[in-house]
């Protein structure tokens, strides 16, 4: 459930997507696996062509930000971009998630 364009949170209890949340500047993506259920959560961004793509991380920028347990990452976006989490391969998962855009944008 998004509380503004720049903050969203909720619970996933089946494979699927979180809400899309706008992010600009430093943003925090977090998920807590109450019951992981063997699921993988992958963070994605929406490209200019409207297609969602996996967010890459690590120093080599070639590893997908995909998690099988609770996680929290800080990412930086130079302009507004839509972010979502995608939960796959789960059996009765329960994942609480939160996407928090730059604090200066939270009431937009």
Summarised one tens digit per residue, pLDDT across range 13-59 is 999 999 999 998 899 999 999 998 999 999 999 998 999 999 887 66
Q: What integer pLDDT is reported at residue 105 of this predicted model? A: 53
pTM tops 0.75, yes or no: yes
Specify whether the CB–CB gap between 5 and 108 falls below 8 A.
yes
Residue 3 has pLDDT above 90, yes or no: no
Ramachandran category for residue 103: left, alpha or beta (phi over 0 → left; psi -120 to 50 → alpha): alpha
42: burial class by Cβ within 10 Å (0-12, 13-18, 19+)?
middle
Decide if pLDDT at 94 tops 90: yes
Tokens of 72: 């929290």
């Amino acid at each position: 459930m998004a509380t503004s364009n720049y903050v969203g949170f909720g619970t996933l209890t089946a494979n699927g997507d979180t809400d899309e949340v706008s992010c600009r500047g430093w943003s925090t993506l977090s998920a807590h696996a109450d019951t992981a259920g063997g699921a993988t959560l992958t963070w994605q961004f929406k490209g200019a062509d409207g297609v969602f793509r996996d967010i890459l991380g690590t120093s080599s920028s070639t590893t997908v930000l995909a998690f099988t347990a609770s996680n929290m990452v800080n990412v930086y976006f130079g302009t507004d971009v839509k972010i979502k989490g995608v939960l796959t391969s789960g059996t009765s998962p329960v994942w609480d998630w939160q996407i928090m855009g730059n604090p200066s944008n939270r009431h937009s």
